[in-house]
Structure 1
Amino acid sequence: MSRPFYAALGVALMTIFGLVPAQASEWPSRTVTIVVPFAAGGSTDIVARLLAEQLRITFKGSFVVENRPGATGNIGVAAAAKAEPDGHTLLLSTSGPIATNVLLFKKLPVNPLTDLTPIAILAEVPLIIVVNAKLPIRSLRELLDYDKAHPGKLNFGHAGTGGMGHMASELLAMTAGRKFTNVAYQGSTPVTNDIVAGVVDVAVDLAPTYMPFIQQGTLRAIAVTTSRRMPELPDVPTVEEQGIAGYEASSFIALMGPANLPDDIVRKLNAAADAWLQTEGAKKALEVQTLRAVSGTPAMLKERVRAEIEKWAPVVKAANISLGN
């Protein structure tokens, strides 16, 4: 028999016994699971389900979302990182579990910097600073003036130690030269209930948390933490616009995979995500969640993760923020 015949036979046998590298096989060959390290129903979960549907259409395969909450996102990240790098297990997460958690925990089940493959950044998540609408405070400057005149009286609520709301408030305190009284809650719902009830005075959290209450008039947004205003709150200035030079705080949502994910799968997923983000449907769907569509290469996502850690390291150290051992 000819040499080409034996070569073809060898490839066929290798494929049967699973010895062909993932990039040489048809992908996806079975259901792809997108792990979300948070409970169902939040903005990250919704984005994951929207993306899964788009990937199903693009690749004509099955894409499902699996929620693996717990341990500040570490459980879901570990599940994705420890999966086979064949493109059938992915991770969709905000910046905390894949970036800043390395600053908060002395020991992690996996290292997101080395045990994950960056694929695509999908959205930016702004934060907003809100006060109970009954307070006579209508701007960040008025808040700082009130705090100066009544030191220690204002309580700043946030959704949990080490969360983006906590770190954003600590960054504001550092940048403005203040010391705020922080009150940590176990999640966004209890702190939201308490600021609406007037138990705490000020809160900082991801924008989707507070938008319904701002629209109802029970909470007042006094500042946006991103570098530019939110289209949904065009009259609310940024922190920097209100005199705190260089201030910026935001989270992001990104698609990752296990380390050593084949380059061709990464390219396919990045291209599919980017194409989806360019559509009006995707942009509008994200806007409903108060998210801004962004896109970029895997290298850009890798750099964003690195920059996020570098930015928040001095804040975590100065405020002595720590979670676990």
Structure 2
Amino acid sequence: MKRSLKIILVLSLVMFCGTGFGQQKTFTNPLLPSGADPYSTYHDGYYYYIHTLQNQLVLWKTKNLADLKTAEKTTIWTPPKNTMYSKELWAPEVHMIDGNWYVYFAADNGDNNNHRMYVLENTSGDPMNDSWKFKGKLATPSDKWAIDGNVFKHKGQLYMIWSGWEGDENGRQDLFISKMKNPTTMEGKRQKIATPTYDWETRWEGGPHVLVNEGPQFLSNGKEVFIVFSGSGCWTDFYTLGLLQLKGKDLMDPKNWEKHKKPIFAWSKENGVYAPGHNSFFKSPDGKEDWILYHANDNSGDGCGGKRSPRMQKISWNKDGTPNLGTPVSTKTILEIPSEEK
């Protein structure tokens, strides 16, 4: 009986580990106990991961995002005190653009009315060192409230999309886009491409409607272009993901963006996943799989605080080319890690 038990244990380890029992092959969500607005970039065999920590920017480095709990991490930047960008650092993103590293984030001086986008640059080739330099504010001429910036290239042109106010008061969060002259400089005026109108992006039981479109993320299947965004307030269980689809060639023309009438990723009471949102996307190491990173809560009413935790799962594509994000899986669901390079 003891010999049989040993064989069973060995077989179980083989199923759950890689060669030499050193590489985790399966995982369950969440990836970390807490961490809102998760984002990762894959470069030269490693994932570089970052999320909101409010008062500093910390970068993780790992070959496997399922191993974030034991991954190498380092604080790459702490803002100087008493500046317009010293507090409430939100939704950072780490990017490799034209050979250099950049981190984009929103920050203010403790007054949310002053939230703007900022950028750091590292030209050393190694994002885990202390060579990060603050390059300043990223703003279009109108210089309005802005958070959740996402930077991407499309047909050689660099763009930023973000959530902002049309005016100077907090009444509604819309989505805006602008071209970028280079990774640290905006180019020209912003264009509003989405505003919250549907019930699922304005929902808040127990209070007045909220008007929120935020957390925009570029996504493409190689032909079609999309923006996935978060709707409703992050403090509600109904925080959810919606979809914009480009119907023309010019990304700067608001008429070319069509919003889908229904959300594409929503809370699941059955799976115990609430307020799934503020996502990003990444490809598996072998480039064959598309994955979503997002944060969510385990319990109803957990809101926007430190209980939000990062999760990931594989996505697919519908026959019409639109993304199929599925349903947020439970914390008991065993998933295979992203497919690796052979």
* TM-score with structure 1 setting the length: 0.25
Higher-strand-fraction structure: 2
> Which structure has more RCO (C-alpha within 8 Å, separation ≥ 6)?
1
Q: Choose between structure 1 and 2: higher helix proportion.
A: 1
Name the larger-Rg structure.
Answer: 1
